[in-house]
Each structure stands twice: as C-alpha cells, then as structure tokens.
Amino acid sequence: MFIDSHCHLDRIDLSEYEGDLGAAIAAAHEVGVSRMLCVGIDLDRFADVIAIARTYTSVDASVGIHPLEDTDEELSCARLVELVADAEVVAIGETGLDYYYGKDKREQQLDRFQRHLEAAKASAKPVIVHSRDAKEDTLAHIKNFADLDVGGVMHCFTEDWEMARRALDLNFYISLSGIVTFKNAQQIKEVAKQVPLDKLLIETDSPYLAPTPYRGRGNQPKYVVEVARHIAELRGVSLEQVAEATTQNYYDLFVR
C-alpha cells in the first residue's frame, strides 16, 4: 500500500472523472494508494478541505496558510490551535518560507511561519514545511520555534543533501514528489538515495508536478506510485520496500 502524504484534493482537475472526486479517490485506491493527506494552504478553502476529509475515510486534513498566499486574515497561533482540534486534522501546514517568489515579503513570511510553528508546538501536531531558496532561515525557525520531539516534514523537497541532513537532525522527515522522476533533478535524486528509509515520505503535491511519464498533465494521488517506483530504482530496493516504509512513516508522523 502507498500513501500520498501531500495533495490538494480541493484543487485537482476532475474532468477525467466527470467532476466526481470520489471517483478520483477510488482510482487511487485501485492502484494501491490507501490513504492521502489533503493539505490546506488558505483559510478560504479550509471548509472544503475538512469536508473532503469528513466525507472520505481514507483522507486526512491539515490546516495552514502557504507562505505565498495573500490573505485578508492572518491566522493567529490561538486560532490555528483551535482549528487543528478538529478530529480530521492531523497536522499544521502547509507553512514555511519561499524566497524564490516572495523574498520581498520576507518578514511577513517569517512571522507567519513562526505562528504556525508555535501552534504546532502548542497542539503537539507535526508541521508541514515548504522551503524554497530559504535554507538557513527555514532551519533556524524550525530550531527556534518547532517542537523537535514531534517534528514534521520537509514537503516536496528540492534542496541539497546538506539541508536534508540538517532537517533530519531536527527530527524532520523528507518528502519527495514527482520532481524526483525528472531527468534534470540530479540533486534530488541524490537526496532520494541517501535519506534513511525510515525518514522518507512520498507525495504528489497534486494537482502540481505530475511525475514522469505523466509530466505535463494535471497531477492526482494515483500517480504517487510512480514516485515510489523511481525512488526504489534509485536505491536499488523493491517497490514493496519503499511502499511499506513510507506507509509506516506516515503513520508514525501523522497518526498518533
């Protein structure tokens, strides 16, 4: 069995399924994807994310505001703690820092990230972290504000092994997306080879970043199998080993 540890089911293209999200989830089940985490990135759609998790028993939810998201309401630490108390919510995030697109809003991002980390610590929930071109600030904020006993995950990891190693030292998992299947993603392939199997997660980040051989299409949870397949090939292990390890890791981190 496989688990898609990060997807946005409220945003995927359902034209293949005549608009039926249930059919897309069933298609994932048919290829062995037993569970998926629908990740919140803004407050406006949080009700949709929760509704999906309540409707489908194989779907968990998270609550957070993406670092690049423009919002009229910044979530306070107290409000985040209140929202994460919902039974379907297993994590806080997606949060983090993105200086590739948002370096001009560095202070706003740092403040938002800190509140999410503090809320995760207050609620004893893992945190889902997005980081792009912000290695040192991301790691420093995690070290200073996160609950390192609970930890979290560096989602859709695109940095080098040195950052991965430092995140692992902070009790964070490394999650790899369809990018690992891209021909030019050599840095991420090296990370895929080196991350301890008991600290690895797989994801689609649907509807973005569809893996090879589906690159260019809208992504969806059933394609997470291709991420696992490529990692298995890189590591020289069986697909079953990657599936078993990443599934157990998901339960260890998110289902306590």
Average pLDDT for 62-77: 89
What 8-state DSSP symbol labels residue 210? P
* Omega before 207 within 30 of 0, i.e. cis: yes
- Beta bridge partners, 83, equal none
pLDDT on residue 84: 92
Confidence of residue 129 (pLDDT cuts 50, 70, 90): very high
Write b or e for each residue in 186-215: b if 16 or more Cβ atoms lie within 10 A of its Cβ, otherwise e. eebbebbeebeeebbbbbbbbbbbbbbebb
- Is the pLDDT reported for residue 186 higher than 90? yes
Q: How far is the C-alpha of 174 from the C-alpha of 7, rounded, in Å?
A: 15
Compute CA 203 distance to the chain's CA centroid, rounded to the nearest angstrom: 7
**Residue 77: pLDDT above 90?**
yes
Residue 104's pLDDT band (cuts 50, 70, 90): confident
Span 236-248, average pLDDT? 98
Cα three-residue angle 125-12-197, rounded to 5 degrees: 45
pLDDT digits (tens, 9 = 90+) for 46-59: 999 999 999 999 99
- Checking DSSP bridges between strand 152-154 and strand 200-202, what pairing results, if any? unpaired
Q: Domain coordinates of the chain in residue numbers?
A: 2-254
pTM of full prediction above 0.85: yes
Q: What is the mean pLDDT of residues 68-85?
A: 88
CATH architecture of 2-254: Alpha-Beta Barrel (3.20)
Which among 34, 35, 46 has a CA at the least distance from the CA of 10?
A: 46
| Residue 72 clears pLDDT 80, i.e. is over it | no
pLDDT band at 165 (very low <50, low <70, confident <90, very high): very high
SS (H, E, C) 61-115: EEECCCCCCCCCCCCCHHHHHHHHCCCCEEEEEEEEEEHHHHHHHHHHHHHHHHH
Q: What is the pLDDT of residue 256?
A: 73
Residue whose entry in the numeric block shows the structure tokens 């919510």? 89
